[in-house]
Structures are given as structure tokens and as C-alpha cells.
Structure 1
């Protein structure tokens, strides 16, 4: 049914469009405080559906075929952001099983490091033994932690607040959380340089995602350009090959990046850049603001239908 619907779309104005799926990591088992991240079983059926019902292409190849007017119907690309080690350890075997390509946008400064700052918030809040978290001394509020839903809500508030803090203030908040929790971070959540090389050897394209994953609009122009350019240079030195694709951290136009940063990405020598806007890629779009998003659906049919709806929609609205 999904194939038939996709072929009908391909004969309409939806012809020549690409849907790009965006993940961060794959979990060994479901995690109550990471409800949006698929576990291996979920990721497996998602990849099986893509292999059976869609044409999954390497990202750069898909763009080239679109430009040439030879893009197959139901074209989909798979991407991962940040650079979690689970992409190598858990996602890669599934991708190999179904012979699917993917692109990993790596935050180069976190290679071999313990955790991203947002994961430190999750781990600290998860480890707090009290039923309330009082952060009024930092100009925030007092938050209830009586159950999983309340802890999840608290994590959401703190993560959204921390995204737009200067790095020094974000670090101070996270350190206070960790001290309150007595948290000892578990090492090994991020890709190592050797894992990145292994992904590359196995046909997974590596893209850049800045050095430290800042919100670009919160930085001065010189620092933002350095984050963009240095991430490309560091990954190219690691792989000894060009890195041509870039993804904006957080990826919301006007809020997380703007026209200045689009020009910085062009200047750095990338061939294309990706946002987190919902919709399909069309030939007419700015090659440095291409959409991609994450299907949240929990069943195969709705997951596939979501992708077809993006193709029908076209560019982000």
C-alpha cells in the first residue's frame, strides 16, 4: 500500500522530492527519560520498512539524482546527529543487515568524550533522590520530581533553558545539578575517532555538526565561523577526505541559526546544509537550508504514512 501510494505521489507534483529522516541515537532498551529515541527493536522495524517500501539513498547521491532529474520515487535518506557511539555499536549492524546507507553529523569536539551537555542534565535529574529540585538560587524555579512524567517535564524545561545560555552559565548549571545528584557520568556515550573511521569504511558518510554544538545565534560571528569551519577541518584531518555536508545544531531557522550562518557554511566550503524543519527537499530549495525531521510514529503504517505526507507537503511551510 505504501509503495503504491508513493508511486502515485511520484506521478504528481511530489515527483523528484527527498525525505530525510533524522535520528540522534539508538537505545539498547527503551528508556523512560528518552521517549523519543528508538530502541534497537523499533529501529529494526523502521529500517526494514524503509528497505521494503522506499528507495533509501546516500544523501549526496540523492541530491545529485534530484539535480539530474533521475531521482527514483519514494526517495529517503537517513541521518544521525551529534555522534553517539550507539550509532556505531547498535545502528550500524541494523543498517548493514538491510544494506542501507546513512549520514552521521558529528560534533567533532565531543569525539571520545563522555557525554553531551543535554545528556548530563538527563543523568543528573534521573539520579536525584529527592522529590523536588530547587534551582531558585540560579534564577529558575522549584521543580517536582515525584514520578517519571514530572522528571521528564523537568528535563525538558532545563534542556530548553540551557540551550540558549552562554557556555559558562550552562556549565555552572549542569555542575550544580551533578553535585546535587552525586552523579558520576558513565563514559563512552560518544563516538571515538576510531569509530568514526570505521563508520566511514563501512560506507556511512560523515558530516559536520560544529565543534561543541552551540546555538549559533547565541555566539559572536567570529566564534560561530570558527565552530563551523573547524568542525570541517577536524573531521577532514581525521578521515583524510573532504567533508561536504553540514547540519545546524538544533536547526530552527531564525532561532538557532540565521542568514549570517548560512553564509558562513557556504564560505567554509560545504556543499549542502540541513535544518530540522519538517518537509521534503525539492530542487528549488536553498541547498544550505534543506529540511529533515524525525517521524515519531509508533507503528509501521503510520511511520511510512508520515514520510509520504512529507513528500506530498513538499518544502517546509
Structure 2
């Protein structure tokens, strides 16, 4: 059962270390080179596990990476060079709105951006990235809210991790838009510029990419995969929760997400695999 496990921000070092120890005991933990050889050179992987981390939150450098080094576990970190360089914005939009009054935010969206009545709680994920940042700017102005302090890794932290070689660095767009919501030109800029700027930062080709949010045919599709095929990227990752196999589309590789929960929960989620989400929905009615 070959799996890719994806994390985001992790602030509980004890929890993360327990998960890493468990993964090492249960799986053959591999790096990105072995995954590349699996897809492109026919290398057989059995009961393998690759660890990935999205967004480049400070905890990637301060919590996750030291534990990976301690246990000599390879991984892939997906980051935005624009965010790391503090180029105009220092946080992703979802980090900036954390703690905001969502009713007030919606009121601003309705009054100034002519948004329709939301039909679900994740309405903001149906907006394009420019409108999201306009809404944030209005909110900060009207409610006298200051921009948050930077929450993500710096350029030097990313370069240092890359130099040490245990963790590969991949691209994750410039500003974390839901790519399907953007025009073709904007999607191309977000993808291609994140790759070329990251390559300039690191001094070598970038071979991996992770789609923001990452649900196939919802958050990205044929257009985004075609854009990636014209870059240096050879492996691109979705958030479709299932085991990986040689027949996968290498520009939509599946991953399971982990963020919190007891070790019993972690074991259960990994055991159930692709059946976890449908069973949870069924139980919740």
C-alpha cells in the first residue's frame, strides 16, 4: 500500500515526532528520487511512503525539519518564492483572514465586490485571488485591523534546507489561488513564475509542484496540467486521497492529508485510506 502523506503547519512537535516514528515503523519511507524512478524508470515500490508539506509555514523550518533530520526522513516542502521573498505580501490569504469575523468579511464582499449569497461555508474558495485580497484590504481598513506578522519561511531558511539535501523543495504557486478560479494568463503566471523564481532562488531546476487545495477537476484540471508540462516540473501533486500507483497521471499524483488527531486516529485514517472520507460523511449523516 504505497502512500504519500501531506502535512501543513505543525505546531505540536511531540505529535509530529510520534507520527514520523509510526510511519518509519509501518512503511518504507522514500524520497522524491525514488518516486521519480517509480514513475519514469519503472522502479518497484512496496509499502512505500513519501512525506510532503505544503505552504512553507515557519513550523516547516522550526518544528518539522528538525524532526525529519533527527530521524533521517526525506520529504518534499512545497513553498511560494513570492511569500518567502516578502514581495508585496508576506502571508497567504487564508493565513491573513484567520481569526477574522467571517460574517463581516462576507458583508464586505457583498457590498464592494457584488458577491452573491454563499451556498456553503467555503464560499471564499470560489473567488479569484485579486478579489480575495481586495476584500482583505477593505476589512483591514474598515475594522482597523493590521496585517499579520510573517508566518512563513524566509528565503534563507528555504535555501539552507535545500542545501542540506534531505528535503527537496517544490513550487506551490506565487499567492496560493485556487487555479481553476483564475484566467488562463493568471494561472500560467502563478504556476510558471513560482517555478522560475524558485529555481533562481535555489540555483537548480525545480522538479515538483503542488496544486493549492488540490482537488482534481475542481481546483485544477487539464489547463493547469498542460501549463506544467511546459516547465521543468516532472511530478505534480493533488490532494486526491488514495494510494499512489504506476498508472497515475504524473501531473496529478494523489496524497493523503494529516494535520491533527490522536495516534489512534492517525492509524485509523491510514488504515481506511480512500474509504476514510466517505465513511466519515456517512457517519455524520
TM-score range, shorter chain: 0.7 to 0.9
Deviation at 1:65, TM superposition (A): 4.0
2:115 match: none
Q: Please, which runs of 5 or more residues in structure 1 have no aligned partner?
A: 1-13, 28-38, 127-131, 141-155
**CA spacing shift, 1:138–1:230, aligned 2, 3 Å:** closer
Q: Is the CA contact (8 Å cut-off) linking 1:206 and 1:243 kept in structure 2?
A: yes
Deviation at 1:175, TM superposition (A): 2.2
For the pair 1:254 / 2:217, whether they are aligned, the reply is yes
Deviation at 1:136, TM superposition (A): 3.3
Among 21, 25, 29, the residue aligned to 1:48: 21
What TM-score comes out, normalization by structure 2 length? 0.83
Mapped partners of 2:216, 2:180: distance in 1: 10
Mapped partners of 2:105, 2:91: distance in 1: 24
**CA spacing shift, 1:300–1:288, aligned 2, 3 Å:** same
What TM-score comes out, normalization by structure 1 length? 0.75
Q: Please, which runs of 5 or more residues in structure 2 have no aligned partner?
A: 112-119, 277-285
Among 9, 32, 44, the residue aligned to 1:70: 44
State the aligned residue count.
264
Deviation at 1:284, TM superposition (A): 0.8
Q: Is the CA contact (8 Å cut-off) linking 1:124 and 1:183 kept in structure 2?
A: no
RMSD: 2.6
1:101 match: 74
2:196 match: 233
For the pair 1:118 / 2:91, whether they are aligned, the reply is no
Which structure has the greater CA radius of gyration? 1
Q: Is the CA contact (8 Å cut-off) linking 2:96 and 2:148 kept in structure 1?
A: no
For the pair 1:24 / 2:8, whether they are aligned, the reply is yes
Mapped partners of 1:254, 1:79: distance in 2: 21
Deviation at 1:266, TM superposition (A): 0.9
* Deviation digits for residues 21-75 of structure 1 (CA, Å, limit 9, x no counterpart): 1111112xxxxxxxxxxx222112111111222211112313414653432x321
Mapped partners of 1:267, 1:81: distance in 2: 23
Among 225, 240, 243, the residue aligned to 1:280: 243
1:182-261 alignment runs, 5 A limit: 182-202=144-164, 203-261=166-224
**CA spacing shift, 1:125–1:137, aligned 2, 3 Å:** closer
